Amino acid sequence: MSSVSKNIQFDTLGLAPELLSRLAELNYSEPTQIQQRSIPHILQGQDLLAGAKTGSGKTAAFAIPLLQRHLLTAETSERGNYVNSLILVPTRELAQQITDSLISYSVLFARKPKIVTVLGGVSINAQMLKLRGGADFIVATPGRLLDLIASNAVKLSKVKHLVLDEADRMLGLGFADELNQIIKLLPKKRQTLLFSATFPDEIISFADALLNAPVKVQLEQTVETINQRVITVNKPNKTALLAHLIKENNWQQVLVFASAKRTCDHLASKLAKRGITAEVFHSDKAQNARTKLLSAFKTGDIKVLIATDIAARGIDIQKLPVVINFELPRSPADYTHRIGRCGRAGENGEAISLISHDEFHHFNVIDKKNKLELVKEQIIGFEADDEAPLDCPSRDAKPMAKPEGTGKKKRKNKPAVNVDIWGSKTK
Ligand code: ADP
Ligand code: MG
């Protein structure tokens, strides 16, 4: 381990024995960089803007100190439907995952925190019942939280700690209305914590507006253990190439991203015709189906999961080996989050983008913004033409300068190396 993390252990961060013992049980032998840098500030009650790469333990970085405050200060919901700590996230699966982490970290507490998960797509009545008498923690997606507020099931006027996980997503256009409504209901005097792997420039002013004299921690964004590749292919051959790669590499667990729900469905049926069983994960699926699909994928019962960007943020799939971009995500930040589903907690992973002519230009934008400098590859038998094929709708799109590589794997990005506690490289 590098000198940075050598002397910093969880017990030097001033954590309670109930937490230290639990972290040891979970084999968290030392805090990750973002945990080292965040936990002391959060314990002191400071506001924080924390940027650290995917899979580097940001959940524990906010969950552990907030649980400690619950434990030591007996901060608790007063009578009525008040909530002490509010954690807002973009997807239902992430809300459930963070709830599970909070429960897991606090199993040794004599006085267990009351944690309520608030998410859409399931019965609201059960959530209303649980919220009676308030909660120590609510982990919520914004829409359902607002529904519960409208029904007087919960009041935010005594929130002491607000966390936005995937903060740039929460502060982006998609959640702007809902988030504004929620923020208006919060007390001005509170602790606000923003966590994400990406903080694009355009959201920084929104972040600053929420924070009060924040500490800002911005760690490196690149996950060195993810081997990133980009393969060019004619659009009509993309599905065949994907099927070829899955079979050829004998991948046992692969997460494939497509941009639209219909593309996911369509792709699954085209793969089925090629003898590959794939399941689809998108927002048209019922919530109980979504939950089952994700857990079956995590246990390895589903080999190929085709998902929209609802699976791009926060979801922790341990040791996932491969992520495929069947289509590119809209933004460079989304690219970072998608590929960050693999290569978590210091594990190795591989992220492959399949791009055809209409995507070359957009890929260059992602490549440049994220400073990837990937070298485009071709796979023998699936080589992309110099220009888009005549029957291809993308023919008018800007062509790639010159296809590079011919079947042989070449890349300019650095190979996977050992990292210290998921921060900087071990020299
Ligand atoms: P992030 O939010 O930064 O993407 P997560 O909080 O989901 O990452 O954590 C990624 C994985 O690392 C999880 O499986 C988590 O249990 C594990 N983890 C977090 N902190 C530690 C630690 N200090 N030691 C070992 N594993 C950890
Ligand atoms: Mg996270």
The pLDDT tens digits for 126-169 are 999 999 999 999 999 999 999 999 999 999 999 999 999 999 99
Q: Which ligand is nearest to the CA of 345?
A: 1
d(CA 207, CA 209): 5
Average pLDDT, the chain: 91
pLDDT at 421 over 80: no
pLDDT tens digits, one per residue of 276-332: 999 999 999 999 999 999 999 999 999 999 999 999 999 999 999 999 999 999 999
93, two tokens:
């699966």
> Is the beta carbon of 336 within 6 A of some atom in ligand 1?
no
> Is the beta carbon of 54 within 6 A of some atom in ligand 1?
yes
Burial environment of residue 155 by CB neighbours within 10 A (0 to 12, 13 to 18, 19 or more): middle
> Is the beta carbon of 101 within 6 A of some atom in ligand 1?
no
Which distant-in-sequence residues (6+ apart) come within 8 Å of 11 by Cβ? 20
Pocket test for ligand 1, best of 12, 27, 56 (most atoms within 8 A of CB): 56
Residue nearest to atom 2 of ligand 1 (CA): 58
CA-nearest of 127, 142, 232, 216 to 183 is: 142
Residue nearest to atom 26 of ligand 1 (CA): 28
> Is the beta carbon of 20 within 6 A of some atom in ligand 1?
no
Enter the DSSP assignment of 250. T
Cα 197 to averaged position of ligand 1 atoms, centre (Å)? 13
Residues 35-64 have a mean pLDDT of 98
Domain 10-218 matches domain 226-377 at the CATH topology level? yes
Cα 381 to averaged position of ligand 2 atoms, centre (Å)? 39
Which distant-in-sequence residues (6+ apart) come within 8 Å of 262 by Cβ? none
> Is the beta carbon of 57 within 6 A of some atom in ligand 1?
yes
Q: Can you give the pLDDT at residue 263?
A: 97
Per-domain boundaries in the chain: 10-218, 226-377
d(CA 3, CA 224): 19
> Is the beta carbon of 329 within 6 A of some atom in ligand 1?
no
> Is the beta carbon of 68 within 6 A of some atom in ligand 1?
no
SS3 (DSSP) at 402: coil
Q: Between residues 413 and 225, which one has the greater pLDDT?
A: 225
Q: Which ligand is nearest to the CA of 422?
A: 1
Q: Can you give the pLDDT at residue 388?
A: 78
**Range in 106-110, 238-242, 415-419, 422-426 with the lowest mean pLDDT:** 415-419
The pTM for the full model equals: 0.91
> Is the beta carbon of 423 within 6 A of some atom in ligand 1?
no
Q: Place 422 in a pLDDT band, splitting at 50, 70 and 90.
A: low
Q: Can you give the pLDDT at residue 86?
A: 98
pLDDT at 413 over 60: no
pLDDT at 108 over 50: yes
Q: Can you give the pLDDT at residue 75?
A: 58
Q: Place 415 in a pLDDT band, splitting at 50, 70 and 90.
A: very low
Backbone angles phi, psi at 189, to 5 degrees: -90, 105
Pocket test for ligand 1, best of 344, 420, 421 (most atoms within 8 A of CB): 344
Question: Which ligand 1 atom is at minimum distance from the Cα of 31?
Answer: 23
Provide the CATH topology of domain 10-218.
Rossmann fold (3.40.50)
Residue nearest to atom 23 of ligand 1 (CA): 31
The most distant pair of C-alpha atoms in the chain lies apart, rounded to whole Å, by 69
> Is the beta carbon of 36 within 6 A of some atom in ligand 1?
no
Provide the CATH topology of domain 226-377.
Rossmann fold (3.40.50)
> Is the beta carbon of 55 within 6 A of some atom in ligand 1?
yes
* Dihedral, CA of residue 45, residue 48, residue 54 and residue 60, to nearest 10: 0
Q: Give percent above pLDDT 90 in the chain.
A: 86
Residue nearest to atom 10 of ligand 1 (CA): 55
Yes or no: say if 90 and 166 are a contact pair by the CB < 8 Å rule. Answer: yes
pLDDT tens digits, one per residue of 392-409: 554 444 443 333 333 333
Q: Can you give the pLDDT at residue 72?
A: 87
Q: Can you give the pLDDT at residue 404?
A: 33
